[in-house]
A = this chain, B = another copy of it.
Amino acid sequence: MFNIETYKDRRQRLKERMKDGILLFLGNNESPMNYPANVYPFRQDSTFLYFWGLDQPALAAVIDLDQDKEIIFGDDFSVDDIVWMGPQPKLHDLCAQVGVQTVKSSADLANFIFRALQKGRPIHFLPPYRHDNMIKLQEILGIRADYLKNYVSVPFIKAVVELRSVKSEEEIIEIEKALDITYQIHLEAMKLIRPGLKEYEISGVLKGKAMSLGGSLSFPMIFSVHGEILHNPHQLNLMEKGQLVVLDCGGEAPSHYAGDITRTLPVSGKFSEEQKAVYQAVLSAQTAAIEMIQPGIRFRDVHLEAAKVLTLGLKELGLMKGNIDDAVQAGAHALFFPHGLGHMMGLDVHDMEDLGEEYVGYDEHTKRSSQFGLANLRLARELKSGFVVTVEPGIYFIPQLIDLWQQEQKFKDFINYDKLESYRHFGGIRIEDDVLVTENGCRILGKLIPKRIEGIEAIMQK
């Protein structure tokens, strides 16, 4: 939890951006696995954390803009609860720590909202993504759960995005704590990976590492010898000599700020010559992209530059051909690089994704493309000082996609399908770092996790 002034200031700046009505914030609740009392690890809503700091379930809050009041709704524990849960601080004391004096019972929220609705006052709420909160909104607003998305407050979304997009110094410190955990996971991976083990035998240890450091993971870890499967949740494969492992993971600090780093590691500890060549193309693209990052540049342009460097590398390998600018403009490179270069990062690893990528990653000057690959770009807009973004180009050989494109003879002037055949089982390579946009340029956050070929091999062969 930050200092009381942080939260008061954040709410003050939010109020300045909104006109009138009630701003309604729903905290998250416990989330059941296989029956109501058996719950997943609690994760508070990030916007709730940002403005109210309280990291416990079953809270709501309002800012009454017209009467300039702030209220938190929640309930204290009973003695019966204390037998099961241990002694608990009083909610009133917790609220005081984040500068809120008025605390009401959970049961009062519906009544509070009802009275405001009766007076015709606007109730601003953000897009709900937890279904329990959809049902709660249905109950207190009288809007059917599946219609709620049509009634969210765009001014509220825009104001929250504006504030949360620019990270303060104290937020950067928290992100770097998450990156300390991430660093330790990656270094541990470099020590543990070897042929003959199943993926989960290592990834299990790495997930435990995050928790044994007092943190958690900001998203489900990707740890796979099939790096070409972009969001591969399975870790059942045997790791064999000659394969590469893509490890894409992020620690989450106790404050819930995220990290998100990818490295691609040779199972045997040494890259083959063929792997080195593809790896170097990805690393060059990542380096070139990071060098471009500064306030005022559009992230889509950084993405396209990275795509060009990748295309150059693929041409040198004989896998692409023709004019690089034309190939990238047509989208031919997306066979190998079908995802976006990166995304915002903060309290969420895809920061504010619940509020809508069109508000976070795009703006009135930058609209989403419909081209395959480019359409997946989560962040395209102009960068500002204080943004934290990931930079994560990759090259993948996806057999199903190659077959599909080859059948259609898609971009055959840019893609050398014959040569591609021998790369069919190559897998994929991605390299990712987290970057803070500074006033003059950018800074890679966190302690350096080796990404040069020699650096990785040196650690893995120890």
Chain A residues close to B by CB (< 8 Å): 28, 31-43, 45-46, 79, 82-87, 129-132, 134-135, 138-139, 145-146, 198, 200-214, 219-220, 226, 229-234, 236, 338, 347-350, 352-354, 398, 400-401, 404
Residues of chain B with a CB closer than 8 A to A40's CB: 31, 33, 40-41
Q: How far is the CA of A212 from the CA of B206 in the complex (A)?
A: 9
Residues of chain B with a CB closer than 8 A to A353's CB: 35-38
Which listed residue, B134, B205, B234, touches A212 by the CB 8 Å rule?
B205
Residues of chain B with a CB closer than 8 A to A204's CB: 208-214
Q: How far is the CA of A212 from the CA of B213 in the complex (A)?
A: 17
Q: How far is the CA of A43 from the CA of B39 in the complex (A)?
A: 11
CB pair B211 A203 closer than 8 Å: yes
CB pair B212 A400 closer than 8 Å: no
CB pair A32 B208 closer than 8 Å: no
**CB closest chain-B residue, reference A192:** B212
Which listed residue, B32, B45, B205, B236, touches A129 by the CB 8 Å rule?
B32
Given A31-B40, A350-B37, A138:B129 Cβ within 8 A: no
How many of these chains are in the complex? 2
Residues of chain B with a CB closer than 8 A to A32's CB: 129-130
CB pair B211 A354 closer than 8 Å: no
CB pair A86 B212 closer than 8 Å: no
Which listed residue, B134, B213, B404, touches A79 by the CB 8 Å rule?
B404
What are 13 contact pairs spanning A and B, CB under 8 A?
Answer: A31-B31, A38-B348, A38-B353, A40-B41, A79-B404, A83-B400, A131-B134, A135-B146, A201-B212, A204-B213, A205-B208, A205-B212, A208-B208
Given A41-B220, A130-B32, A354-B34, A85:B229 Cβ within 8 A: yes
Most chain B Cβ neighbours within 10 Å, of A202, A204, A207, A219: A204
CB pair B208 A209 closer than 8 Å: yes
CB pair A38 B212 closer than 8 Å: no
Q: How far is the CA of A41 from the CA of B209 in the complex (A)?
A: 17
CB pair A398 B83 closer than 8 Å: yes
Q: How far is the CA of A68 from the CA of B288 in the complex (A)?
A: 64
CB pair B354 A36 closer than 8 Å: yes
CB pair B146 A139 closer than 8 Å: yes
Given A131-B134, A135-B146, A86:B211 Cβ within 8 A: no
Which listed residue, B130, B230, B404, touches A84 by the CB 8 Å rule?
B230
CB pair B145 A138 closer than 8 Å: yes
Most chain B Cβ neighbours within 10 Å, of A86, A135, A398: A86
7 closest A-B pairs by beta carbon, nearest first, are A208-B208, A204-B212, A204-B211, A131-B131, A86-B229, A35-B354, A35-B353
Q: How far is the CA of A138 from the CA of B139 in the complex (A)?
A: 13
